[in-house]
Copies of this chain bind each other. A is one copy, B any other.
């Protein structure tokens, strides 16, 4: 997400499934894929016959700091060589291939990958060429097909985006869904006694101010006001703030200055 950077004090995630980019056409996209890998805790990159050769300085620019992934990338002449040492291979594709293989979304594929890695079965994820994807012959070398729910009218994902979405589902599992932060610890919820004391404060001041001009409607108006504050799950700190707000409004600027002077 924009707005956060590289924190060299934190350990870099290593491992996970191998990402295999098959004949990527543009160095920019290899770099974008490496960046997405780094974001989502993937570190092992293989390149099958990258069109612009390797290494590629444009990849480094687009990796935005995921240099270690590019530096450790290995190059293979074809898919067969690139997956030869792996136990389970998933081919990503947006097109139906008419092959009797399991078809899964990125979430189910991530669960399958995590399960296999946990028992020591090394896994590879194949991503095809920017324009033409994987050849059917290459898909036939895989155990399963990964495809994403996409707008059928506009199904062409950027290569880096495809790696990012798959990596995101992988990291959701690898990190047990832990988000980088949680809301700050809340001050404890106010006791009802404190809440009712606040209601008393508000209602007393409104009475004094002549807010309840219709005695018949007073009970329902009071209920409406109480319901507003009931909905908010106020903490003790919230109540202290709101008592101050009411007092300030009642006193007005002149009254507040006069009180301050008296208290000095």
Binding site for B on A (CB under 8 A): 1-8, 10-13, 32, 35-36, 38-41, 64-66, 92-96, 98-107, 127-134, 145, 147-162, 164-165, 168, 171-172, 175, 177-184, 186
Nearest-neighbour CB distance to chain B for A23, whole angstroms, equals 10
- Once the chains are docked, how many angstroms separate the CA of A153 from the CA of B37? 12
Cβ of A105: which chain B residues have Cβ within 8 Å of it? 172, 177, 179
User: Across the interface, do A2 and B133 meet the contact criterion of CB distance under 8 Å?
Assistant: yes
User: Across the interface, do B165 and A12 meet the contact criterion of CB distance under 8 Å?
Assistant: no
Specify the main secondary structure of chain A where it touches its partner.
loop
User: Across the interface, do A94 and B151 meet the contact criterion of CB distance under 8 Å?
Assistant: no
User: Across the interface, do B183 and A100 meet the contact criterion of CB distance under 8 Å?
Assistant: yes
By beta carbon, the residue of chain B nearest A178 is: B149
Known: A154-B65, A172-B149. A161 touches B39 (CB 8 A): yes
Q: A148-B168, A148-B179 are in contact. List 4 more A-B contacts (CB 8 A).
A: A12-B151, A13-B151, A38-B153, A64-B158
User: Across the interface, do B159 and A161 meet the contact criterion of CB distance under 8 Å?
Assistant: no
Q: Which of A36, A165, A177 has the most C-beta atoms of chain B within 10 angstroms of its own C-beta?
A: A165
By beta carbon, the residue of chain B nearest A174 is: B149
Q: Which of A6, A99, A101, A104 has the most C-beta atoms of chain B within 10 angstroms of its own C-beta?
A: A6
User: Across the interface, do B164 and A1 meet the contact criterion of CB distance under 8 Å?
Assistant: no
Cβ of A92: which chain B residues have Cβ within 8 Å of it? 1
Cβ of A186: which chain B residues have Cβ within 8 Å of it? 100
User: Across the interface, do A158 and B160 meet the contact criterion of CB distance under 8 Å?
Assistant: yes
By beta carbon, the residue of chain B nearest A65 is: B154
A-B contact pairs, 16 of them (CB 8 A): A1-B128, A1-B162, A2-B129, A2-B132, A2-B159, A3-B95, A4-B133, A7-B155, A12-B153, A13-B153, A39-B154, A65-B154, A104-B179, A147-B180, A147-B181, A168-B168
Known: A94-B1, A172-B105. A147 touches B179 (CB 8 A): yes
